[in-house]
Amino acid sequence: MKKFISILLCAAILVSSLGILAAAQKKDETPVIFVPGFLQPYMYIEGENGAEDEYLWLPQKEKIFDRIIDDMPNFLLSIFGLLLGDVENFGETLGGGAYAVAEKMRCNPDGSSVYPVVHYKNDPAESNAANLKKIVSKEAERKNLLFESFIDYAVANGYAELENIFIFEYDSRFDPIVLAEELRDFIKAVKKYTGSEKVNLFTVSYGGLITSTYLYYHMNEKDIGKAVLNVPPLQGTDFPDRLFRQNVDLPLETLVDFVESVLGAGTEVASIFEANDGDFLNTTLNGASGGMLDVVRNWSTIYAITSTDLYEGMKKDFLDPVASKAIIKNNDIIHYEIMPAMKQTFEKCKKLGTDISIIACTGIDICLGGSLNGDILVPTYSASGATVAELGKRFADGYTGKKTSCSNPAHNHVSPSMEVDASTAFLPENTWFIEDSYHAMFELEDYAISLAAKLVFTDELKDVHSDPAYPQFEYSNNPHRGVYAKFNNSLSGYVSSKDTALIVENIFDESIIKITSVVANGMEIDFDIPFASMLKPGEKLEIPFSGDIPKVGTTRTDITVNFVKAGISSGATAVNFPMTINNGKAPEYKGGFVDTDPVSGLEALLPDAIYNLLVKLTLRKASESIFDTLAAAFIF
């Protein structure tokens, strides 16, 4: 009997070991180089004769305070003027102060640095995460570790070892062509240091444009196993043009939401804004931007990340054609050779054995204004190459995609919000989109950081069809949103007749919530919310519904979940989930676009002037939440 039990135990251990081995085989042991975004790396001037280094970026608080003290009379006068309504002069004073703090970051007209600015060394022995962790723990010159949350996540979940992660440092003022050569040198050094034949790359924002430029020139060296590009500005953005021309128009509601998402933990800041704060912020920033223009005017990076359709105007108005010919030469190549060839570059890389994946975000204004749909800094089309409706619009019902990059009829590459057509993307099978996620904030979101880790450290996600838990289109689950919702038997973002309930999850870090109502716009269904609908953080509630899902396909619907936080009387909140009905034949697509936002019950009831005031006061969502709850209780 004992022998029999021993045999069973051995068999169990063997099976378990095989399972562990199988799991381990999915893990990619290739060294990973992280390529950070614009202005993420530290830049400084080395101290001479034992003096301390002078940090220029990130600006040190002591330097900011010193500047305020040195210019106290002007600063106080601008504050006094602000109280009298002179917002523009206040902004100009701030801009002058910012110039004084950042003045040593200036570049010459040819793009070279005025001062001897350096960044941390790209030595694999020093720039691996294990060594960097030791430096940070000793509170030495490096104040924090880039990607620290992502590195900790990867190690804690068994994806990677600290010694196998490296961080590429660079001067953010230089263009992708210059920096691509520095990246190439670092890749060679990491290969030699680790003995690996290849490295993998994980990039954020501008790091993606640097990496794409590297691949354009050096793909035939076959040094890269895979590259994961997170929110890359592959076609630029209008951010520099608006800033240089002092044409800032901040969308206040988006700004409030962004601040809340950064602060997290259900923080609410809308109440501190007043009706004129949007105008105040716009005037202040426009005034301040003039002071900073003299610092950044000759940064080659600025012109590289400008959208190609705005590049010629920027070049003409802000660069000297003779003195700045070096900046112009490289940026002409970027805009007229590298950017137009992005899709072909990625396709060639794939044939050479380099896998490329892209993570893009969508559904958010560009922070300085305009109608582009993006992630507050980078337009969705720029990060992905996809066809994207302008903000506030979507494709009309029945739209199935242009299918220029993927013509497979079994593949649906149109987002549930019907705002993004990924069938035209650079990589339609390897681009993931996250709705309502802000630029480069993946470390704050469980889904986004998990997706990035899967793509970077494993071979589990070959494409967007590999795992239903990682669909091509997903909603942000940043804790500040409060809730996440999907139907019980469909992929995230879709609903069909096989669904019987909506699953709502509390994604706050700490707050308990009560679901007060759920409204479907575009479907005649009613949700039966249980009386005991209090949800602790992480808890889910299955809400059944009555009524029939329409017998149509490729048709937009919107599900709005209304809730309040326990113990907070003013915490009424509405979160909208744009979805696609996938339950039959698609209606005839008649072309064009329609408005994205459905007309809410409150909007239909109130005069336009009053409703617009609620929007300006950032009270629209809370007001609609209260209205929906009262309407569900048959008061209206």
484 exposed, middle or buried (CB, 10 Å; 0-12, 13-18, 19+)? Answer: buried
SS3 370: coil
Strand partners, 546: 526
Task: Return the pLDDT at 425.
Answer: 97
Task: Return the pLDDT at 91.
Answer: 55
Task: Return the pLDDT at 282.
Answer: 63
Chain-wide mean pLDDT for the chain?
Answer: 84
**Do residues 554 and 400 make contact, with C-beta atoms less than 8 angstroms apart?**
yes
Task: Return the pLDDT at 359.
Answer: 98
Exposed e or buried b per residue across 183-212, where buried means at least 16 C-beta atoms within 10 angstroms of its C-beta:
beebbebbbeebebebbbbbbbbbbbbbbb
**pLDDT tens column, 599-614:** 666 666 667 666 666 6
Return the domain boundaries, the chain: 47-115+237-338, 343-478, 482-632
Task: Return the pLDDT at 278.
Answer: 58
Q: Are strands 199-204 and 43-45 parallel, antiparallel or unpaired?
A: unpaired
Give the Cβ contact number of residue 272 at 10 Å: 10
- Rounded to the nearest 10°, the torsion over CA 149, 155, 161, 162 is 30
Residue 38 CA, distance from chain mean position: 13
In the predicted model, residues of the chain with pLDDT beneath 70 are: 1-27, 59-101, 138-143, 250, 252, 263-291, 367-369, 532, 568-571, 597-606, 608-622, 624-636
Fold classification of 482-632 (topology level): Immunoglobulin-like (2.60.40)
Give percent above pLDDT 70 in the chain.
Answer: 75
Give the Cβ contact number of residue 451 at 10 Å: 23
Residue 20 CA, distance from chain mean position: 34
Q: How far apart are CA 431 and CA 425, in angstroms?
A: 8
Residue 5 CA, distance from chain mean position: 54
Specify the pTM.
0.88
Written as six digits, the tokens of 35 are 């390529």
- Residues whose CB is less than 8 angstroms from the CB of residue 31 and which lie 6 or more positions away in sequence, other chains included: 164, 165, 166, 190, 191, 194, 196, 199, 200
Strand partners, 229: 203, 358
**Do residues 546 and 517 make contact, with C-beta atoms less than 8 angstroms apart?**
no
Closest CA to 457 of 270, 228, 179, 278: 228
Task: Return the pLDDT at 601.
Answer: 66
Closest CA to 38 of 299, 382, 334: 299
Task: Return the pLDDT at 547.
Answer: 94
CA-based end-to-end distance of the chain:
74
Q: How far apart are CA 27 and CA 10, in angstroms?
A: 26
